[in-house]
Amino acid sequence: MLATFFAPLLVVIVILLIASVRIVQEYERGVIYTLGRFTSTRGPGVQIIVPGFQRVLLVDMRIRTEDIPSQDIISRDNVSVKVNAVVYYRVVDPGYAINKVEDFVIATSQLAQTTLRSVLGKHDLDDMLGKRDQLNKDIQEILDHQTEGWGIKITNVEIKNVDIDPTMIRAIAKQAEAERERRAKIINAEGELQAAKQLDEAATILAQRPETMQLRYLGTMSEFTSAKGNTIILPIPLDMLGGLKSIANAIKPKT
């Protein structure tokens, strides 16, 4: 009689013991509920719970990777682009991640999509192409602030691709070419202005020192004589022409 009585009881006890044992992995944390109330968070190892009164939810604490699908964004300079990115995050407080939001994975993904559109829509296309590091940092800070109450830590955000419509690519190429031409003209004009200033200063110095002009004339003659060729053209100073004119006027017969 006793054997038939204790045998089922022993089976029940063994089943309860098996049901009360939970193994939590090193990268997991167990969120314990007692009669529906959150009571504690347990670490890795063998954990004992009371079957029927307690239950455990396991939360992965490793860094998660969330791809943000391509988002249609209109930049501040009215350029339509498609941008996708990737978000890296992890759970730092399992109790908050389970109790504060219904599904923190979906919530984080949706929040990342809306934040990506909101942040990039405030910048020009040039910023999206040339200032990705700063944009990544801005998006990360906004996401991290908003998910802090969920027990989520945003570790990194990376913009992957910025796709532009082919017609816009051609327009941007024309704009870049026009910008290069504009800069070349400005540089050329600045060079001519500097050269004109130098010539003006040189003319002022030569006007003050006539002998300097003669030395310049002799130097020019030296350059011509050392040049290759059979024909040599010698420049005549203007003051020499003035002297010849004076001599011609002096010997001109009076009528």
DSSP secondary structure letters along 18-87 = HHHEEEE-TTEEEEEEETTEEEEEE-SEEEE--TTTEEEEEEE-S-EEEEEEEEEEE-TTS-EEEEEEEE
Residue range 64-164, CATH number = 3.30.479.30
Contact partners, residue 101, CB within 8 Å, separation at least 6: 107, 150
Average predicted confidence (pLDDT) for the chain: 81
Neighbouring-strand partners of residue 46: 23
Q: 29: pLDDT confidence band, cut at 50, 70 and 90?
A: very high
Q: Region 41-50: what's the mean pLDDT? A: 89
49-to-26, 28, 32, 33, 227 alpha-carbon distances in Å: 18, 16, 8, 10, 104
Q: 33: pLDDT confidence band, cut at 50, 70 and 90?
A: very high
Q: Is the pTM of this model over 0.85?
A: no
More confident position, 240 or 26? 26
Kindly list the domain boundaries of the chain, sorted by start residue: 15-60, 64-164, 166-208
